[in-house]
Each structure stands twice: as structure tokens, then as C-alpha cells.
Chain A
Amino acid sequence: DIVMTQSPDSLAVSLGERATINCKSSQSVLYSSNNKNYLAWYQQKPGQPPKLLIYWASTRESGVPDRFSGSGSGTDFTLTISSLQAEDVAVYYCQQYYSTAATFGPGTKVDIK
């Protein structure tokens, strides 16, 4: 299985400031035939199911605010919240779908400083 790691485990950011979450895969999730990175990001708030934010590493899901952006390629990826809002307090997960067995990262908790 492809192992996903995330850093940091948690972070606290002031309202309006930038939050950056890193995700690393144990092998490349870039598919050479279509030059796409098989990586998604999710947000999960307490007591709720996860919500899809981004797929193909950088394509924002419909309705997701543009302060959320994804970047990276190969094995190293980043989710950036450009201006943290109170409603962004949550745990964020990356997920690879390069393998037929999807795997999630362990999650990064984002709080308000």
C-alpha cells in the first residue's frame, strides 16, 4: 500500500493568516500517461463526515471557497488556506487514489491561535 504522511500533526493560526499543511506519499502518485497527480484533500469538522475539498491535487470541488488551494506533484503536496476563517477549524486529510487501494494520511488538526 502507498503510505501517506502529513505534517504538522496540528497547527494554530491567527484569523486571516495563512495555514499550510503538507502531505507526502511513499511513492509517486503522478500518473505519467495523463500527467495527473492522484491526490485529494478532505476537511472534517467534529461530528460530521468528511467533505471533499480538492482532487487531482489542485482542482477545487464545486462550492469550495477559493481560499483553499492545493499544490505539489509526485510525492509532495500542500494544502493552503490563504486566510483562515473561524469555520475552517477542522481536521484535514490527504488521500491518494493512484493505487486501486486508496489510503488516507493521518490528518492535520487546524485551530485558531
Chain B
Amino acid sequence: QVQLVQSGAEVKKPGASVKVSCKASGYTFTSYGISWVRQAPGQGLEWMGWISAYNGNTNYAQKLQGRVTMTTDTSTSTAYMELRSLRSDDTAVYYCARDKSTVTKWMDVWGQGTTVTVSS
């Protein structure tokens, strides 16, 4: 079955970086893109950005430009999201989700989420 499996929970100090992985299975990885969405505790959904697994094109949310990098490894069907210079307000559940290959549209398959806690 189509699924996205994310890496485990992380605890980081302010100023550190975190890299979350998202392994896809059950579909042709390079025919789709991956969006990353985060959700702070008790809050709504925030789109962070998108990467095409077909050609590596990316599009990031303006507020995260310069701090976030999304990559893919097509040999292992895995997407990665790295967030740098972490702050306390980056504490959230981070989701990867399957998206379209050419541009972000709707997200039809979601990972289970990765909790990232930023605390001194």
C-alpha cells in the first residue's frame, strides 16, 4: 500500500538544526512531489514547502526561506527536510505528504508525523 514513514521524534536546543526523513513506498517516487507541513501544539496546519521528486525543484514558504532545505534521494525513495537555527516556536509536529510532481496541489497521502521539540 502507498505509505510515507517518517523518522522518530527529536529534541533540539535553540540554534541547532534538525533533519527529518520521509520514506515512501507503494508508488513510483519520482512521479510525485513531497510537501512538508507542520503543526504547532494546539494550532493549525502550516505549509512549509514542496519538492519535486522528479527533478528536485523546490518551493519554500517565504517565512522559512534561508532556514529550510528540502531534498530527495531517489535511490531510496526518501525525502528530507532540514530546518536550521531552531527556535522555540519551531516546536511542532512535522508531516510529509505526497503532492504533485510539477507544483504543489493537494496532498493525498500523509506520513505519521515527527515531533520536534526545541528547548534549552
Say if the beta carbon of A93 comes within 8 Å of chain B. yes
Contacts of A61 in B (CB 8 A): 108
Indicate the size class of the contact surface on chain B. 20 to 34
The answer for the CA separation of A49 and B5 in the assembled complex, in Å, is 12
Contacts of A44 in B (CB 8 A): 45
A106–B104 CB distance below 8 A:
no
A8 shortest CB reach to chain B, Å: 15
Residue ID in chain A nearest B108 by CB atoms: A52
A55–B106 CB distance below 8 A:
yes
Say if the beta carbon of A77 comes within 8 Å of chain B. no
CB interface residues, A 57-113, toward B, < 8 Å: 61, 93, 95, 97, 100-107
Sample of 11 further A-B pairs with CB below 8 A, known A49-B97, A52-B108, A104-B44:
A38-B105, A40-B106, A42-B45, A42-B107, A44-B45, A49-B110, A49-B113, A95-B47, A101-B59, A105-B44, A107-B45
Sample (6) of A-B pairs whose CB atoms are under 8 Å apart: A40-B105, A44-B45, A50-B107, A51-B110, A104-B47, A107-B44
